[in-house]
Structure 1
């Protein structure tokens, strides 16, 4: 059994490999890798650096049994505890690649560095974050979002990743409760995702 599969979260399904750290494409140039993994000293004094490792006890993978849910018959990610506004939930792990190694059919590919055209794809390998659904058809608005973050990897180095964060409370404070225990964690995939999905289906 691969090391990555030796410790997986409850509810992990299918042949997808569970990752504890990003998996890098062999075609990614050393210059691009160096742009993602940098000395901690290069960050500003106020930069926030996270330490993180899975499985993540603050979330749980749940089968979707509600027939009206867009992901019916698939899975969702729920909060296993109260998650306050702006809190870091977990990283989005996957296969780190550039445009020379992109799976055009993947629904799990997020941008990691737009300038360098680097993405992270969780279609075949990832962590619990790959089960987060879009809010459309489930709720009136998302309660979480993807943000860039730096993770301490030891030896004075940090790694740029994408993380899932609870949305801020907002100026009106209407999101001050954050995400309650048992509540589904929902993001916005962006209108572009659904436009491309429709175009592919029509084709």
Structure 2
């Protein structure tokens, strides 16, 4: 069942078209099968982090974005959903975290299209197929634009008691050497990332 929070926020207009059967998360949901070594790699003492590491505070739902049904016939996700900016998002700025079910290789859904790597060395991933937040609706740029305007980056969240939690975040691309991305993401523009060639290669294999 969807948590009451999801249905309440959907009715408020903050979470337009939140899907039935998908749990809305305010924080990651950890698999009970995750070993202690995996937990220790994700939740660390602030004193163990580099002095340059910024601990962020996050709070959903994220009013800077909007889930919107796509009605453009040429869009690869036509008839489905995308995530759009509700306000101007400057270059290099943090948009929102990518939340989901945190698991290792022993607890992986091979059919999921929403699974991102959080720690490759330990095989830890974040799967937003059955639970997550607005970030699960971000589409790949291919067939929509000439390139992405956002990207996934690792970051740490301040969870109190002098500890930080490693998560995946969605950030606006930096300006870049050419300066072409100086405007960032405009209000009403779709937030697009690159899933990577590996994603599409695996997708084609499963469809064959």
Q: TM-score range by the shorter chain?
A: over 0.9
Partner of 1:10: 15
Partner of 2:69: 63
Bigger drift between 9-18 and 149-158 goes to 9-18
How many angstroms apart in 2 are the aligned matches of 1:183 and 1:60?
10
Partner of 2:52: 46
Partner of 1:143: 149
Is contact 1:39–1:158 with CA below 8 Å preserved after alignment? yes
Q: What secondary structure is seen at the aligned counterpart in 2 of 1:162?
A: strand
Question: 1:6 deviation in Å?
Answer: 6.4
How many angstroms apart in 2 are the aligned matches of 1:3 and 1:32?
30
Alignment root-mean-square deviation, CA? 1.2
1:134-166 Cα shifts (integer Å, max 9, x gaps):
000000000000000000011111100000000
Q: State how many pairs are aligned.
A: 202
Q: What secondary structure is seen at the aligned counterpart in 2 of 1:77?
A: strand
Partner of 2:80: 74
Q: 2:163 aligns with which of 148, 157, 166?
A: 157
How many angstroms apart in 1 are the aligned matches of 2:7 and 2:160?
22
TM-score (norm 1): 0.96
Is contact 2:3–2:24 with CA below 8 Å preserved after alignment? no
How many angstroms apart in 1 are the aligned matches of 2:67 and 2:4?
21
Question: 1:5 deviation in Å?
Answer: 3.5
Question: 1:45 deviation in Å?
Answer: 1.5
How many angstroms apart in 2 are the aligned matches of 1:174 and 1:33?
40
Do the aligned partners of residues 128 and 30 (structure 1) sit closer, same or farther apart at CA in structure 2, a change above 3 Å counting?
same
Query: Counterparts of 1:53-202 in structure 2 under 5 Å?
Result: 53-202=59-208
Ranges in structure 1 where 5+ consecutive residues have no aligned partner? none
Q: What secondary structure is seen at the aligned counterpart in 2 of 1:184?
A: coil
Bigger drift between 53-62 and 7-16 goes to 7-16
Partner of 1:34: 40
Question: 1:14 deviation in Å?
Answer: 2.2
TM-score (norm 2): 0.94
Is contact 1:85–1:166 with CA below 8 Å preserved after alignment? yes
